[in-house]
Amino acid sequence: MTDLVTTMPLLSKARTSRPTVETASVQSSRAEADADARRLVTAIARGDEESFGKFYERYHRRLFRFALVLGRGEETLAQDAVQMAFITAAKKLRSAQSEEHLWNWLARVARQHLAKAWRHRQRNAAFIGMADLPESVGGEESDCLLEETLDAAILAMDADERELVEWFYFDRLSHKDIAQRLGATPKSVSSRLERVRAKLRAAIARKLSHET
């Protein structure tokens, strides 16, 4: 933080040097992330199971969030697309230029599986037509917009509903685990989840319809 009693010349110097330091730090962090992504993909290509486990843990949560919004809250479609994306990665992922390139590849594969599943299920026009979505991912900015859509939909829910969504969707707790936390029965948790699912799907659909 800039000292309030600093003289003007020193304040001017701080303002010119600070962005340089921050930019260098960001660039260094990005370079490290890119190098780590390349090492991870190289190891996966060799069949290293431990590296694939790290890859899965690193990207599963984000990819599911991405797929959940594209599927307008249809968690079964999202889960299947994510699973197929990782299976495809295990078989075909051989190189990555950067972390962003790796994410874009993974997101594109998930999107393709979602489109295929959507066409197969022949959903009605009330839901987004996955076949009409572009095959290429629009980059980090597009992904952020999708994630913001999900965040906004979740934030619009009650606190206990948000907690349930986090536990079930992102922490991957079972009905039994959640029931133990709440001091409830698995059956009551199942009923609550069904209501929360419907509410989340409706919220995502509303927000996407306003943005498109």
| Residue 28: pLDDT over 70 | yes
CB-based contacts of 94, cutoff 8 Å, min separation 6: 41, 45
Amino acid identity for residue 212 in this structure? T
Mean pLDDT of the chain: 79
Residue 180 near residue 138 (C-beta atoms within 8 A): no
pLDDT confidence band for 146 (50 / 70 / 90): confident
Checking phi first, is residue 139 left (phi over 0); if not, alpha (psi -120 to 50) or beta? left
Q: H-type helices in the chain, by residue range?
A: 8-45, 49-70, 75-92, 99-121, 140-155, 159-165, 175-182, 186-211
pLDDT at 184 over 60: yes
Q: Give pLDDT, residue 138.
A: 45
Are the C-beta atoms of residues 35 and 117 closer than 8 Å to each other?
no
